[in-house]
């Protein structure tokens, strides 16, 4: 009933291609630099401790977390959680990932405007996609234009969140690279270029997600405009 070839052509297919390309770059970069020992021969945990000891980032807890590429920063507890491989291996990839997460900790510590805006939207975003989709579907089924456009507004909150996430992640990566420099962890330039390669690849995943969200929103808006 709701099948539309234009959705497949202009939203689903481009989103799938972008996502696959982004994942390919991430896996490729992580596989390459996850097998290259960093110049200081430090594991991810040791890298984190060095940064905390030698930069203005402080009061950050460190915890292990299972899985691969599950590393993340938890602003609620001011804790960086490091995946097993990155925590225990002295690789360039581990160095890059840990520095990126500490970049998020620095954003939080300094009250970065972008991360404050994103965090402000978190409560709404937890429900907005589900509510938005429901309103859009029922608005179409019942031919209730007002409900349909309310659904688009709710879905739009998620899109704003996804778009804001991209500069937040890029800024965290830039901060992470600076933290590596400031703490004396870059002893060979190949470590810096490798870390930048890993973080650039990771940023592509957020770029792909943001593009997908924007394409979906534009499609819904065009669908509503055609029905008015």
Query: DSSP H helical segments within 12-127, as ranges?
Result: 13-33, 44-54, 84-88, 92-110, 113-125
Please say if the pLDDT value at position 1 is more than 60.
no
Cβ 85 vs Cβ 30: under 8 Å? no
| Domain ranges across the chain | 5-227
> 205, 180, 176: which is closest to 73 by C-alpha?
176
- Where is average pLDDT lowest: 28-32, 153-157, 171-175, 223-227? 223-227
Instruction: Take residue 93 and report the two structure tokens written for it.
Output: 């990839």
Instruction: Give tens-digit pLDDT for 112-165.
Output: 888 888 878 777 777 778 888 899 989 888 888 899 999 999 999 889 989 999
Distance in angstroms (rounded) separating the CA atoms of residues 101 and 95: 10
- Active-site position among 49, 68, 101, 189: 101
Distance in angstroms (rounded) separating the CA atoms of residues 85 and 91: 9
pTM above 0.85, yes or no: yes
**169 counts as catalytic:** no
Instruction: Give tens-digit pLDDT for 169-189.
Output: 999 999 999 999 999 999 999
Please return the burial class of 194, using the count of CB atoms within 10 Å of its CB with bins 0-12, 13-18 and 19+: buried
Distance in angstroms (rounded) separating the CA atoms of residues 215 and 208: 11
Please say if the pLDDT value at position 227 is more than 70.
no
Q: Which residues contact 226 (CB under 8 A, 6 or more apart)?
A: none
């Amino acid at each position: 009933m709701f099948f539309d070839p234009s959705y497949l052509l202009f939203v689903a297919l481009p989103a799938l291609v972008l996502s696959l390309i982004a994942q390919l770059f991430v896996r490729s970069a992580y596989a390459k630099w996850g097998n290259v020992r960093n110049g200081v021969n430090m594991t991810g945990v040791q890298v984190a401790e060095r940064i905390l000891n030698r930069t203005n980032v402080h009061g950050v807890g460190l915890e292990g977390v299972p899985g691969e590429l599950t590393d993340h920063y938890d602003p609620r507890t001011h804790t960086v959680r490091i995946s097993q491989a990155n925590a225990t291996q002295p690789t360039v990839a581990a160095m890059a990932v840990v520095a990126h997460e500490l970049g998020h900790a620095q954003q939080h510590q300094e009250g970065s405007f972008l991360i404050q805006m994103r965090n402000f939207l978190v409560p709404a975003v937890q429900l907005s996609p589900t509510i938005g989709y429901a309103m859009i579907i029922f608005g179409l089924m019942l031919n209730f234009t007002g409900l349909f456009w309310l659904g688009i507004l709710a879905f739009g909150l998620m899109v704003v969140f996804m778009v804001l996430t991209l500069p937040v992640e890029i800024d965290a990566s830039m901060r992470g690279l600076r933290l590596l420099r400031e703490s004396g962890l870059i002893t060979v330039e190949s470590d810096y270029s490798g870390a930048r390669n890993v973080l650039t690849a990771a940023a592509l995943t957020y770029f792909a997600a943001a593009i997908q969200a924007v394409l979906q929103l534009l499609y819904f808006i065009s669908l509503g405009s055609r029905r008015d």
